């Protein structure tokens, strides 16, 4: 064999071929050891791909298939979902019942004319938490099911009862009547690192105990109100939902829950619920059958860099309060729309999505100190956390004929004073109503009917005062205004010197 013009002997040829193969795979290969070194001194720098076989052998028996059944109901309007022909062929080849369609292996539905024979509704995954039969899965896997069937790796099929399900976090716990079951070990999410190998075991498309692997792509992905997700590139497909995400020690670090997809299939981005968050929910479900969360009664939004700079906050941290529910703990504590909640009991709120999680995990009845940024300064407010409840329908403020406009400003705004009745309806102390917006104000997003509550951290009390503030403002700098629209408040940035594009 000739490599780079050098003729190699038989032994050297084998080393060269191994080296070339390793280079093509991106694997480092050490030079051949000297004869006197002996076989005990293997090259430490040699790298191999991970072997998942022992992990799967150990954990696989604790992963289950979950099949949900639904009784056919007359007039429910449920039709057969459309499915790609190639996907239908896939199901037919493997003898898997297609989602939303009766399983031909179980005979025709409605046998005997009863019309209430259970039909397969969906397929998911789960994993056994304890030897006595508690199983964790996703809430959306069991939602709306009339029956839940858990299939173990030894092919036993057991009916399960739903202990509890929490749709806010998409976590559910079901119970099967069995003992001596294999169960998983729970891992430490805090030790999980981006780039680390992880493994998923589940039932994609009903194919039991399918193993896929990849790496952790990111942590703390804010895609939900109450959960920061683990992002991976592990192949996850319909049916994987509720299955475990495992580290290389065989410990569960997450529940596979969501994928990002434009086609409905895997596209390289998957999301898992961190197991520490899921276990907190599961413990409450097992104890109480439901999850108790704290609430303070505010609607929030992110703080942008632009807003933070314009109001003197410096950097974009915290949660902007858009609305305060009347009579809520936040209202009683004196929190106002336009406040930015920056700390809870001394802990900084880096992103707005952290606030619902921190408050939600606080036991109702707890007295908590919130630090808020308001009109250029910080203040501490004590709030007693209440228990979360279903959202109440919002009552729209009654329409009222607006008073005559009393002031026009050079930034494109015509404003008027609010009547006492309007202040009562809006539950505000001051503010002015926008009668017309054009120019810089219109470009900033202001429109007729908006109520301006503050400008550059100064509370607005009247149209005359607002006009005076605008006259004194530096037109070369952005002007921040706190605007109430409907039931929400937000900051808008007016740039007097900017021209329309």
The residues assigned a catalytic role are: 140, 170, 241
Angular region, 206: left φ>0, alpha ψ -120 to 50, beta rest: left
**3-state SS assignment for residue 387:** strand
**3-state SS assignment for residue 204:** helix
**Closest by CA position to 204, among listed 278, 79, 96, 102:** 96
Q: How remote is the C-alpha of 376 from its chain's centroid?
A: 32
For residue 277 the two structure tokens come to: 């968050």
Alpha helix positions (H), 327-462: 329-333, 354-360, 420-426, 439-443
Q: Which residues of 65-97 are buried (b: 16+ CB within 10 A; e: fewer)?
A: bbbbbbbbeeeeeeeeeeeeeeeeeebeeeebb
Q: Are 404 and 369 in contact (CB under 8 A)?
A: no
Report the DSSP beta bridge partners of residue 295. 386
Q: Dmax over Cα atoms in the chain, in whole Å?
A: 101
């Amino acid at each position: 064999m000739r490599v780079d013009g050098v003729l190699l002997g038989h032994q050297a040829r084998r080393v060269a071929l191994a080296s070339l193969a390793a280079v093509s795979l991106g694997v480092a290969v050490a030079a051949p050891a000297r004869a006197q070194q002996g076989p005990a001194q293997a090259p430490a720098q040699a790298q191999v791909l991970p072997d998942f076989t022992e992990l799967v052998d150990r954990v696989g028996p604790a992963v289950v298939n979950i099949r949900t059944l639904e009784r056919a109901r007359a007039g429910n309007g449920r039709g057969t979902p459309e499915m790609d022909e190639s996907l239908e062929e896939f199901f037919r080849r493997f003898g898997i019942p297609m989602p939303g369609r009766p399983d031909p292996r179980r005979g025709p539905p409605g046998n005997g004319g009863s019309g209430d024979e259970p039909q397969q509704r969906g397929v998911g995954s789960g994993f056994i938490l304890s030897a006595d039969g508690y199983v964790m899965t996703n809430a959306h896997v069991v939602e709306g099911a009339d029956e839940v069937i858990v299939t173990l790796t030894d092919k036993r099929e057991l009916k399960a009862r739903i202990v509890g399900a929490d749709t806010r976090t998409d976590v559910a716990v079901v119970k099967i009547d069995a003992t001596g079951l294999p169960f998983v070990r729970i891992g430490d999410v805090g030790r999980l690192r981006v780039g680390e190998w992880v493994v998923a075991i589940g039932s994609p498309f009903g194919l039991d105990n399918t193993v896929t692997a990849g790496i952790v792509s990111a942590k703390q992905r804010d895609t939900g109100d109450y959960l920061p997700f683990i992002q991976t590139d592990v192949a996850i497909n319909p049916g994987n939902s509720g299955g475990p995400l495992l580290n290389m020690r065989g410990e569960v670090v997450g529940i596979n829950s969501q994928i990002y997809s434009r086609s409905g299939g895997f596209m390289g981005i998957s999301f898992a619920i961190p197991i520490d968050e899921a276990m907190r929910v599961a413990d409450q479900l097992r104890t109480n059958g439901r999850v108790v969360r704290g609430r303070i009664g505010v609607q929030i939004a992110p703080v942008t860099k632009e807003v933070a700079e314009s109001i003197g906050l410096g950097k974009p941290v915290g949660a902007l309060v858009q609305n305060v529910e009347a009579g809520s703990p936040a209202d009683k504590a004196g929190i106002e729309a336009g406040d930015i909640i920056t700390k809870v009991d001394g802990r900084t709120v880096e992103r707005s999505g952290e606030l619902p999680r921190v408050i939600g995990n606080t036991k109702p009845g707890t007295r908590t100190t919130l630090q808020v940024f308001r009109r250029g300064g910080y203040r501490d407010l004590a709030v007693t956390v209440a228990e979360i409840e279903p959202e109440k329908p919002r009552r729209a403020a009654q329409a009222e004929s607006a008073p005559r406009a009393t002031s026009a400003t050079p930034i494109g705004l015509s404003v008027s004073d609010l009547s006492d009745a309007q202040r009562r309806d809006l539950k505000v102390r001051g503010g002015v109503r926008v009668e017309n917006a054009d120019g810089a104000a219109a470009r900033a997003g202001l429109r007729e009917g908006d109520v301006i509550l503050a400008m550059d951290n100064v509370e607005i009390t009247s149209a005359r005062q607002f006009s005076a503030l605008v006259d004194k403002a530096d037109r070369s700098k952005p002007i921040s205004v706190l605007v109430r629209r409907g039931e929400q408040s937000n900051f808008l940035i007016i740039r007097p010197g900017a021209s329309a594009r």
